[in-house]
Amino acid sequence: MKTSAGIYFKGQTAKDERRRPANLVYCLLPIAFFLASCTAARFETAPVSISPETEEKHSGKAVEKPGKEKHAGFEKFKGDRKGILASWYGPDFHGRPTSSGELFNMYALTCAHKEYPFGTKLRVVNPKNEKEVECTVNDRGPFIAGRDLDLSYAAARKIDLIGPGTGHVIVEPLGRDLRYVKYIRYGASNGILTIQVGSFRDEANAKRLKAALEINHKNVYVIEANVGGAQYYRVRIGKFNNKADAAKIGNALANEGYNVMVTKFEQQI
């Protein structure tokens, strides 16, 4: 199936820079903080602390029970080259969950896009200097009108986009890491159903995922739940009368790279 972003990916059944020396990281952090303050934020959020020790690729998931990885390997393809407006994000979101469930690492070669499935590898070229970088889509955004791509700090630095903050780039899809394709999990299969995409202890993280999902999906909501005395904020989509209807939307979400669980619908209070 061909997506609106102009690429092909599997059917409905459905980075990372070398570690820099610590002294270099400490030198760069004040610059990164200053420059980040010169660009508009992706969301209204409080900043988080940065530690150079988190420069390595994160593997943590943001949901209570993430879906299984459906495929292994890399599917190569060639997508349309497009000229778009790019920006970058870094310190304010370092260590926070991305829409794919991975933790955002500003030192990894990743990016956020509104349509490409998670795991899509993009070649991004700065036409002003012909510098290029390959990065993996693992987040949704940008959330600022007119912008089409949000690069991680590391990816933006590769093509000299840190100083300007934004710039026109050429993007070309190269393929997809199929580890991002997920299975649907079923917590229930009868009665009125809904689709759960994430569950968080931090309400702000739930709200960010909700905003990301609302780019391409309708009827997204957050419901609170108490599990063993701990408060969770669950991000869910839709209300379905049967398993087949839920599976249709769930398969599309799982193929896009979201963690998906079909569960019983609970009335919001």
Placement of tokens 């820079």 in the chain: 17
Same domain assignment for residues 142 and 229: no
**Amino acid identity, residue 231?**
Q
What residues in the chain have per-residue pLDDT under 70? 1-72, 269
Please give the tally of structural domains in the chain: 2
Q: Report if residue 113 sits inside a domain.
A: yes
Cα 242 to its chain centre, rounded Å, is: 29
Instruction: Give the pLDDT of residue 72.
Output: 67
Flag whether 30 is in a domain. yes
**What is the pTM (predicted TM-score) of this model?**
0.72
Let me know if residue 161 belongs to a domain: yes
Residue 206 maps to a domain: yes
Q: State the pLDDT at residue 71.
A: 53
Q: Give the domain extent around 245.
A: 184-264
Question: Which of 180, 200, 221 corresponds to the end of one domain?
Answer: 180
Query: Which of 149, 180, 211 is a domain's end point?
Result: 180
Question: Length of the chain, please?
Answer: 269
pLDDT for res 16: 36
Q: Does a structural domain hold residue 52?
A: yes
CA distance 99 to 27: 30
pLDDT (0 to 100) of residue 62: 32
Tokens linked to 170: 């050429």
Shared domain check, 136 and 30: yes
Domain boundary among 180, 201, 228: 180
Give the model's pLDDT for residue 86: 98
Extract long-range pairs of 45-51: CB within 8 Å, 24+ residues apart.
45/92, 45/93, 45/96, 45/204, 45/208, 46/204, 47/91, 47/92, 48/91, 48/92, 48/93, 48/94, 48/95, 48/96, 50/91, 50/94, 50/95, 50/106
256 and 175 share one domain:
no
Whether the Cβ atoms of residue 120 and residue 97 lie closer than 8 Å to each other:
no
CATH number of the CATH domain containing 222: 3.30.70.1070
